[in-house]
Structure 1
Amino acid sequence: MSIPTTAAIVREQPGRFDVTDVLLEEPREGEILVKMVASGLCHSDYHLLSGDSQPGLLPMVGGHEGTGIVEGVGPDTHGWEVGDKLVFSFIGSCGKCRWCSEGMTNLCDLGAFLMKGSRFRDPDSFRFSLPDGTPISQMCGLGTFAERTVVDVNSAVKLPPDAPLETLWLLGCGVGTGWGSAVYLAGIHPGDVTIVMGIGGVGINAVQGAVHAGSMSVIAVDPLEFKREKAREMGATHAFADIQEATEFARSITNGQGADQAILTPGVLAGEHIAQGFAAIRKAGTVVVTGIAPASEEVIPIQPLELTRYQKRIQGSVYGGSNPQADIPRQYRMYSAGQLKLDELISRTYSLENINDGYDDLLNGLNIRGGVIY
């Protein structure tokens, strides 16, 4: 039996979200039906609109960051009950593949399905459809831009009964990606100098992560004064409008050496950004590449000789190297203890019907993080 609901779908690229009536299959084994409470407007979903990211199937329900309440549990699906609160992890973790068994659950083999948008356990099957039967895929297997969705339990993290779902959607992507890029992948030590380029929903959490990891100087880079000021509120010690200014400052406080780390979190990454971060760091420094580049971007204009002679490191970042089943509960505890700021990151909220307004505001630099409240 199909469940009627409303969702924001992408029909073509480039395009806009179309908020329309859709049908949703009931949960199968290993799946849960979730009534959405809130969803984040992440730049990664704009990459879906622009065509920078290519889905396996269009139309696709957007959204990969959200919270909700379980309304139904598939047969023989243990550990979940109707009424449970949860936050989604945009990368599922099976717990059995090589990467999960070696503690790198952010690289779980289930990641192969993120842009295909099908069921993990039945890759030729899709949970959503249009009224005429046309199948609809789900962004990251989630599709949080819908009033209701069905997901695999490997993509869900249970929350306590008193958890504030109107805020904790941030933990599903932006927080773990930015915070983990600093805490896990950048190799920050107490007293370090760290540059964060791009202060959006991910970069702002890289700032928080750098502070938590012990950076003495956290240097935020963004052309917008609003975002630079927000970075200061989150713990940045300095803020500049462009990377050249930040690089010169980092050298001025390190005897000409440069920053220990540069974490790159622009809305749309280019090879030139990596070159700029590479130039900003010292010998044996690290550039963490977290932002998403279009598939057409193929060149990083750096000198291989500098890479070798200065022993610099370019580090990729998927979900900040975070382990969602462990790190999301950890970050919730930090938030509850007042050690991690979340409420301060939410600039505006929107209805599902106004989701395109939310993305216009994102592109116009008005939000650190916008969200849909259902």
Structure 2
Amino acid sequence: MAHEVRAVVARKKGAPVSVETIVVPDPGPGEALVKVEACGVCHTDLHYREGGINDEFPFLLGHEAAGRVEAVGEGVTGIEPGDFVILNWRAVCGQCRACSKGKPWYCFATHNATQPMTLLDGTPLSPALGIGAFAEKTLVAAGQCTKVDPAAPAAAAGLLGCGVMAGFGAAVNTGAVGRGDTVAVIGCGGVGMAAVAGARLAGASKVIAVDIDQRKLDRAMTMGATHTVDGAKGNVVEAVRELTGGFGADVVVEAVGRPETYQQAFYARDLAGTVVLVGVPTPEMKVELPLLDVFGRGGALKSSWYGDCLPSRDFPALIDLYLGGRFDLDAFVTETIGLGDVEEAFEKMHGGDVLRSVVVL
């Protein structure tokens, strides 16, 4: 039986989104139907609306979500109706060369549900990141559901589905921040703020937050930063070096995705230090660095895919840290809104007025 539910749809590039009735099928083999309880408004959703991902309109937006499994298809194991789950957009295959090497967080063949969700007239929808969770119900691959402790409120838990996990994992998984390390995070939006919190939780002795918005820098101090640098008022590289004994940081997380901030990250790290790129650049962007500097400074230049997370490992662990009072997911929730407020949330995002708006259903 198909399900008619309300959802947020982007029909045309740059046009305001609309709340419409869509059709969600019952789960087929390997699929799960999830009743969405909350979904964060992420920059990626705005990129979809603006045609920055691809032009496969209409899009069913939303992907940073948590909810309850309502039904599962044939062959599904590990989850069952009633389970509280966080949705993820990298359901690992278990068979590709990355998975076979024991590195499933690099899976090269992640998958989504195969049945389409549609408009009432039968037009197929393109779900954001294979999820589409600005909806009362959504259809996903069962592997996109990670069961976690239901004591966690959905508005906070769902943020692990994208931005918070990407930032936390960039510092902890990709950057391998350890006790006593010095860390700089360039860009303090939702992803960067999670990197700040993750670095501090991992035991970094100094966590330097870098941004050009004083409001974000002030907020970073409440999330674990020990120092801040206003990039609009001085030389970022010099400031980070001054705060690290003249050497530079052991790990620099670039959470903006621009050539100029990547160059800052490259030169703000210590010799043999690590740069982690988690900010997403646009296709035309290029970075130029003297090859001799790349060689001479040593260390590692890494990209972080989804915080190099393994949802089955990382989501439950972070929820346990949250419930134990060690990782404040609530601090990322600036406001809770309804399905009809997503367009306004995009405007607030442009102005830097929110860390996360979260749709609560």
Q: Given the two structures, how large is their TM-score scaled by the length of structure 2?
A: 0.94
Aligned with 1:94: secondary structure? coil
User: Alignment partner for residue 219 of structure 1, among 208, 220, 223?
Assistant: 208
Aligned with 1:110: secondary structure? coil
Look up the match of 1:256.
246
Provide, for residues 53-78 of structure 1, a one-character-per-residue CA deviation record: whole Å limited to 9, x for no partner: 125x3212111110111222223433
Aligned with 1:202: secondary structure? helix
User: Alignment partner for residue 355 of structure 1, among 342, 345, 350?
Assistant: 342
1:345 aligns with 2:344: no
The answer to whether the 8 A contact 1:239-1:246 is kept is no
User: Alignment partner for residue 192 of structure 2, among 194, 203, 212?
Assistant: 203
Aligned with 1:219: secondary structure? strand
The answer to whether the 8 A contact 1:8-1:145 is kept is yes
Look up the match of 1:162.
151
- Determine the C-alpha separation between the residues in 2 that align with 1:41 and 1:33: 21
Unmatched 5+ stretches in structure 1: none
TM-fit CA distance, 1:245: 4.2
- Determine the C-alpha separation between the residues in 1 that align with 2:102 and 2:75: 27
The answer to whether the 8 A contact 1:307-1:313 is kept is no
The answer to whether the 8 A contact 1:289-1:317 is kept is yes
User: Alignment partner for residue 247 of structure 1, among 237, 241, 256?
Assistant: 237
Structure 1 residue identity aligned to 2:14: P
1:371 aligns with 2:358: yes
- Determine the C-alpha separation between the residues in 2 that align with 1:307 and 1:77: 47
Structure 2 residue identity aligned to 1:365: G
1:129 aligns with 2:128: no
Distance 1:82 1:254, change over 3 A: closer
- Determine the C-alpha separation between the residues in 2 that align with 1:166 and 1:209: 19
- Determine the C-alpha separation between the residues in 2 that align with 1:254 and 1:163: 37
- Determine the C-alpha separation between the residues in 1 that align with 2:151 and 2:309: 24
Aligned with 1:109: secondary structure? coil
- Determine the C-alpha separation between the residues in 1 that align with 2:4 and 2:267: 53
Aligned with 1:220: secondary structure? strand
Look up the match of 1:149.
138
User: Alignment partner for residue 262 of structure 2, among 268, 274, 278?
Assistant: 274
Alignment of 1:1-374 (within 5 A): 1-54=1-54, 57-111=56-110, 119=113, 122=114, 126-242=115-231, 244-266=234-256, 269-297=257-285, 299-374=286-361
Shifted more, 101-110 versus 1-10: the winner is 101-110
Q: Percent identity?
A: 34
Shifted more, 245-254 versus 203-212: the winner is 245-254
The answer to whether the 8 A contact 1:200-1:369 is kept is no
TM-fit CA distance, 1:301: 2.2
TM-fit CA distance, 1:191: 2.3
- Determine the C-alpha separation between the residues in 2 that align with 1:255 and 1:36: 48
The answer to whether the 8 A contact 1:70-1:84 is kept is yes
Distance 1:21 1:303, change over 3 A: same
- Determine the C-alpha separation between the residues in 1 that align with 2:243 and 2:8: 48
TM-fit CA distance, 1:169: 0.6
- Determine the C-alpha separation between the residues in 2 that align with 1:39 and 1:103: 31
- Determine the C-alpha separation between the residues in 2 that align with 1:189 and 1:80: 34
Structure 1 residue identity aligned to 2:313: A
The answer to whether the 8 A contact 1:94-1:108 is kept is yes
Distance 1:25 1:300, change over 3 A: same
The answer to whether the 8 A contact 1:195-1:246 is kept is no
Number of residue pairs the alignment of both structures matches: 360
Structure 2 residue identity aligned to 1:162: A
Structure 1 residue identity aligned to 2:270: R
- Determine the C-alpha separation between the residues in 1 that align with 2:102 and 2:360: 34
The answer to whether the 8 A contact 1:105-1:324 is kept is no
The answer to whether the 8 A contact 2:49-2:59 is kept is no
The answer to whether the 8 A contact 2:148-2:315 is kept is no
TM-fit CA distance, 1:312: 4.2
The answer to whether the 8 A contact 2:149-2:316 is kept is no
TM-fit CA distance, 1:305: 1.3
- Determine the C-alpha separation between the residues in 2 that align with 1:148 and 1:155: 14
Unmatched 5+ stretches in structure 2: none
Provide, for residues 344-368 of structure 1, a one-character-per-residue CA deviation record: whole Å limited to 9, x for no partner: 1111111011101111111110111
- Determine the C-alpha separation between the residues in 2 that align with 1:7 and 1:247: 45
